[in-house]
Copies of this chain bind each other. A is one copy, B any other.
Amino acid sequence: MAVYTQVSDDALEAFLDGYDIGRPRSFKGIAEGVENSNYYLETGQGRFILTLFERRADPKDLPYFIALKQHLAARGFPCPAPVPARDGAPLQTLEGRPALVVTFLDGLSPKRPNAAQCRSMGEALARMHAALSDFVQVRENALGPASWPLLWEGRSQTAEELQPGLAALIEDDLAETAKARPQSPHLPRGTIHADLFPDNAFFLDDKFSGAIDFYFACTDALAYDLAVCLNSWAFEDGREYNYSKGAAMIAGYESVRPLEEAERAVLPLLCRGAALRFFMTRLVDWTDTPADALVRPKNPLEYADRLAFHRQAKSAADYGG
């Protein structure tokens, strides 16, 4: 929740000279996103978001993310549409950082999504998967199962300090998800968002109006995307699974694309894996974030609680599916 890079008057002027979107009428840093600097930019031609990519973004991945958003926008799926500069390229440079202008999306991110929003999100997720079914570019999931043991390396002590007994449970989660990995290639695969938390989705009232922040998008099991959403949308106060919200989300998804039997069978495992992925990255941030950082790390324990739910789940039915 910060703006890391300040943009000088001259740099902004020179940057916008490269675009055909008019003179700036407003330019404000947005306290949104934890990885990049985002600015609200208004010109005579409309409202835009200007993103400066900071250190965590790998520049070689950016063309993939941009192509993905262009693909979605071309198919009418609501997402920030990259705006190309006069030279035809959407990716430019500003203040020494890769910079991208995208169209502004109407909508509000729910802090505490209701069941109607969960349903609308599930439906939109399946529509997004459908819209991406002919997107041919491939990107490996850098935070897939293979990465989890690496992230875990040397952090069991921290986990124990957060909650005594947690390390052994996590070791077990890692073993179980590793054992089950061979099943995963048989699931329907495609391009997934992989980080579609409520703060990356917009709604007008209870109707989904757009998704943002595609910077973890990758090629993986489609049902894993649903598992990420169930983790981030259907738990109350971070810990209690809300059956009706989960059921609404799955029903919304299946109204567009019914889950296959194989997907339903491994949904608990996918949910457990998704919880493990966010537990791991939060654990890393928790230990690695300097005390004086602008962004406070999120507590990993929320995901430890969710893991406890997933460990005892037997099938999609336990999630309301």
Interface on A for B, CB 8 Å cutoff? Answer: 1-3, 6-10, 12, 23-32, 40, 42, 104, 106-108, 110-112, 204-205, 291-294
Q: Which of B2, B108, B111, B205 contacts A1 (CB 8 A)?
A: B2
Q: Is the CB of B3 within 8 A of A111?
A: no
A82 to B204, CA, bound (A): 25
Q: Is the CB of B31 within 8 A of A110?
A: no
A29 to B292, CA, bound (A): 21
Return chain B residues, CB-CB under 8 Å to A106.
Answer: 25-26, 42
Return chain B residues, CB-CB under 8 Å to A8.
Answer: 111-112
Q: Is the CB of B30 within 8 A of A28?
A: yes
Task: Offer 26 A-B interface pairs, CB within 8 angstroms, sorted by A.
Answer: A1-B2, A1-B29, A9-B108, A9-B110, A9-B111, A10-B112, A12-B108, A23-B204, A24-B108, A25-B108, A25-B204, A26-B104, A26-B106, A26-B108, A28-B30, A28-B31, A28-B40, A29-B30, A29-B32, A30-B30, A30-B31, A30-B40, A31-B31, A291-B291, A291-B292, A292-B292
Return chain B residues, CB-CB under 8 Å to A23.
Answer: 204-205
Given A3-B31, A24-B108, 4 other A-B residues pairs in contact with their CB atoms under 8 A? A8-B112, A25-B108, A30-B40, A291-B292
A108 to B293, CA, bound (A): 28
Q: Is the CB of B6 within 8 A of A111?
A: yes
Return chain B residues, CB-CB under 8 Å to A112.
Answer: 8-10
A106 to B29, CA, bound (A): 14
Q: Which of B26, B28, B31 contacts A2 (CB 8 A)?
A: B31
Return chain B residues, CB-CB under 8 Å to A293.
Answer: 292
Contact (A28, B32) CB under 8 Å given A9-B112, A106-B42, A294-B294: yes
Shortest A287–chain B CB gap in Å is: 16
A205 to B110, CA, bound (A): 36
A291 to B108, CA, bound (A): 33
Q: Is the CB of A29 within 8 A of B31?
A: yes
Shortest A143–chain B CB gap in Å is: 26
